[in-house]
């Protein structure tokens, strides 16, 4: 199984402008979030990318992609009908091919220089089946992620056969249905925002959407797990959702602290923290002096 196509979803009402934001990448270059994602995809030798966008966003995305724009085909999601529907808009692009899927509001930072996408694609091609990247996530964050349950594959560290998929489960639901042996207590395998999927998923989406125009992708993935081998890969690295509070800041810090300007950024952070500590100490001393003056008067 060779992966040569990728689909990025970016049409959500609260998501569509996030890929256009600008950050400093690990190489010290100013880039849009979209271009950073595209460059991540390109590390896996994928050169056909479909981006599902809101109508009218093509020009802004082309500008944000910069010199990578020639790799992109745009497909509009004309109605805001959710994640599952957005991915189904790319069915004519996918045809009968397996494909990589990423969301447009996440950035991925590996602990070394090998990209997260490349690792995932290599695993999917070697296993010849659908594989979703996951990360052990504490239960207090379950409301943000689709979560899987299953069994570890013997002899394959970090690989699990998915048996259940639940969208944003409660901690109680996760404890009852999504326990995975070997994880720390209170941690579950949550989606990383990165998947390699088979064309069979498009058929599942088409059938589900015929009866319910607005379904979460997790519903289709749960059915995929019942129909064919579908694995989870506990991917080394971290995901950063740029759409949450301080998400862009956290993503920027992660890129900076793993990039070529790491030493400079660390020294600036230390200096900023030291100045803040000095200012706080000075403020406390002034307050004590004023209080002492009031008492003596």
Average pLDDT score, the chain: 90
- Whether 183 has a pLDDT exceeding 60, the answer reads yes
According to the model, what pLDDT value does residue 157 have? Answer: 76
For 179, the domain range is: 5-244
According to the model, what pLDDT value does residue 287 have? Answer: 58
Phi-psi map region of 56: left, alpha, beta (phi>0 left; psi -120 to 50 alpha) = left
Question: pLDDT (tens digit, 9 = 90+) per residue, 214-267?
Answer: 888 999 999 999 999 999 999 988 999 999 899 999 999 999 998 888 888 888
Does 255 reside within a domain? no
Question: pLDDT (tens digit, 9 = 90+) per residue, 20-50?
Answer: 999 999 999 999 999 999 999 999 999 899 9
According to the model, what pLDDT value does residue 297 have? Answer: 56
Of 125 and 244, the one with more pLDDT? 125
pTM for this structure? Answer: 0.88
Read off the pLDDT of each residue in 61-83 and give the average, rounded to a whole number.
93
- Whether 295 has a pLDDT exceeding 60, the answer reads no
Does 264 reside within a domain? no
Does 281 reside within a domain? no
CATH number of the domain at 161, please. 3.90.550.10
Q: Among 9-13, 100-104, 120-124, 202-206, which stretch is predicted with the lowest mean pLDDT?
A: 9-13
- The band of 59, judged by pLDDT with boundaries at 50, 70 and 90, is very high
Chain length of the chain: 297
As for how many domains the chain has, the answer is: 1
Alpha carbons 164 and 147: distance in angstroms, whole number: 8
- Whether 58 has a pLDDT exceeding 90, the answer reads yes
Question: pLDDT (tens digit, 9 = 90+) per residue, 194-220?
Answer: 999 999 999 999 999 998 878 889 999
Alpha carbons 183 and 91: distance in angstroms, whole number: 36
Does 271 reside within a domain? no
Phi-psi map region of 124: left, alpha, beta (phi>0 left; psi -120 to 50 alpha) = alpha
Both tokens of 154, joined, read: 């013997």
According to the model, what pLDDT value does residue 279 have? Answer: 66
According to the model, what pLDDT value does residue 285 have? Answer: 56
According to the model, what pLDDT value does residue 139 have? Answer: 93
According to the model, what pLDDT value does residue 274 have? Answer: 83
Q: Among 92-101, 121-130, 181-190, which stretch is predicted with the lowest mean pLDDT?
A: 181-190
Does 274 reside within a domain? no
Alpha carbons 62 and 74: distance in angstroms, whole number: 9
Q: Among 10-14, 72-76, 103-107, which stretch is predicted with the lowest mean pLDDT?
A: 10-14
């Amino acid at each position: 199984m060779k992966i040569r196509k990728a689909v990025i979803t970016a049409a959500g009402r609260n998501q569509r402008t996030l890929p256009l934001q600008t950050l400093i990448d690990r190489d010290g270059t100013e880039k849009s979030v979209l271009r950073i994602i595209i460059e991540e995809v390109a590390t896996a030798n994928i050169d056909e990318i479909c981006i599902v966008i809101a109508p009218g966003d093509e020009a802004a995305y082309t500008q944000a992609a910069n010199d990578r724009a020639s790799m992109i085909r745009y497909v509009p999601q004309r109605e805001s009908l959710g994640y599952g529907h957005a991915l189904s808009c790319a069915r004519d692009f996918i045809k009968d091919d397996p494909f990589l899927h990423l969301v447009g509001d996440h950035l991925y930072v590996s602990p070394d220089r090998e990209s997260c996408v490349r690792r995932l694609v290599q695993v999917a091609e070697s296993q010849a089946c659908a594989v979703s990247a996951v990360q052990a996530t504490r239960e207090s964050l379950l409301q943000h992620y689709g979560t899987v349950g299953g069994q570890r594959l013997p002899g394959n560290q970090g690989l699990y056969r998915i048996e259940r998929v639940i969208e944003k489960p409660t901690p109680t639901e996760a404890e009852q249905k999504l326990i995975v042996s070997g994880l720390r207590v209170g941690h579950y395998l949550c989606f990383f925002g990165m998947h390699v999927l088979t064309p069979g998923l498009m058929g599942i989406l088409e059938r589900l959407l015929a009866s319910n125009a607005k379904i979460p992708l997790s519903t289709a993935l749960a059915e995929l797990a019942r129909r064919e081998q579908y694995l989870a890969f506990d991917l080394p690295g971290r995901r950063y959702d740029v759409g949450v509070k301080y998400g862009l800041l956290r993503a920027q810090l992660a890129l900076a602290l793993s990039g070529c300007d790491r030493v400079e950024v660390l020294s600036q952070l230390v200096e900023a923290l030291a100045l803040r500590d000095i200012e706080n100490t000075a403020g406390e001393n002034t307050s004590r002096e004023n209080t002492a003056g009031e008492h003596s008067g």
